[in-house]
Amino acid sequence: MSKRKRQNISLIKDREPVISTVVTPGSFSAATLSRSILFNAQSWETSEKIGAKIKSRVWPQYHETIKRIERAQTVEALVDLAPEAVGLARNAWYRQARQFGPEILPVISDRLRTMSGIPDEDVRTVIIECLGGELRWRGEAGAKILLERFDQLDYYGRSFASIVLGLLDAQAAADLIWKFYQKAVQDRYEAHFIGALWGLIDLKDIRVPDALLDFLIKRRYFAELFGLLSIAGDERAIIPLLLLAIDLPEETKFEPLMSASGISHRIGRDILTSTLEEASADDTGSWAETMAEAILDRSQDQVEEYFAIFYRPLSELDAEGITE
């Protein structure tokens, strides 16, 4: 075995993170943070606990809005308050919305239909997060509304809707989300494509590995890329990730290595070894087997701990990175 190949195996097997042992959510896009909150009932309960912890500190800022929300006796009155539902007031709005049954759905649908007529982008953002977030808990009826109103939303709205549709397992939305992704990914200054990626990943769309590989090959990096590759990349990303780890400075090598381990545990040792053999000049296959062992030396539990927010619901520990 050549000296370089021995060095590469050591790099994969023995490298420890220099700065941190987990990927923290502080620099993630709004799409990833939104999904982590809406992931399931447990993550929503966690967001409520986080709100309760900071309530005394920020209560004066939201007191009047929360009182107005709690006094809303009709769905129309409550939906009218959606533009004000930020911070702690958002949780109060959701709690009040749960007091209503399906009668709230046509009112939400009608409000989303008129979103394009709202000139203020920030107001549109608050409304879609509020109303779209409520549709997350309304099952097939919620998905139906988002499908109907998808093209009437702005790019942020469609990104958010993609997340909710993915979490609702709305398979009928896959092509619609993919079409939006193809447009959004062309914008180098906004991250709306990440919401579309999350939607497609949760729908288990077969086009996702190609999309993620394209980012990697073109070296178009963003905070979530290695975590997304870990949960949804395929064997074609293994070699580019290993080469990237070798080229990166010391403090940033660990993310692509953990990403490669995450992919490898999903695809299995046989496919991993075959992939490495194809990239190796070692006809005996011994280098590929040794390298595979080094990559798999990081357990799936270690991968999931490192990319925690990609694998499980929001936790209070995650929220420390979001709120600091």
Cα gap 236→205, rounded to integer Å: 17
Over range 142-169, report the average pLDDT. 98
Secondary structure E strands in 97-255: none
Q: Does residue 199 contact residue 166 with C-beta atoms inside 8 Å?
A: yes
Mean pLDDT of the chain: 87
pLDDT score for 31: 95
Q: Residue written as tokens 């099952």?
A: 139
- At residue 99, φ and ψ (nearest 5 deg) are -75, -15
The model scores a pTM over 0.85: yes
% helix, strand, coil for the chain, step of 5: 75, 0, 25
CA angle 8, 11, 12 (to 5 degrees): 95
72 conformational bin, left if phi > 0, alpha if psi -120 to 50, beta if neither:
beta
pLDDT of 32 over the 70 cut: yes
Q: How much is the pLDDT for 57?
A: 64
How many angstroms separate the Cα of 309 from the Cα of each of 86, 151, 295, 313? 23, 29, 22, 7
- The pLDDT assigned to 49 comes to 73
pLDDT at 18 over 60: no
Confidence of residue 176 (pLDDT cuts 50, 70, 90): very high
Q: Report the percentage of the chain scoring pLDDT > 90.
A: 69
Lookup: tokens for 70: 């709690």
pLDDT at position 283 is 65
Span 31-43, mean pLDDT?
90
- Give the H/E segment covering residue 157: helix 155-167
In a 13 Å sphere around the CA of 58, the CA atoms on its Cβ side amount to 14
pLDDT at 16 (0 to 100)? 42
Neighbours of 191 (CB within 10 A): 21
pLDDT in tens, 100-137: 999 999 999 999 999 989 999 999 999 999 999 999 99
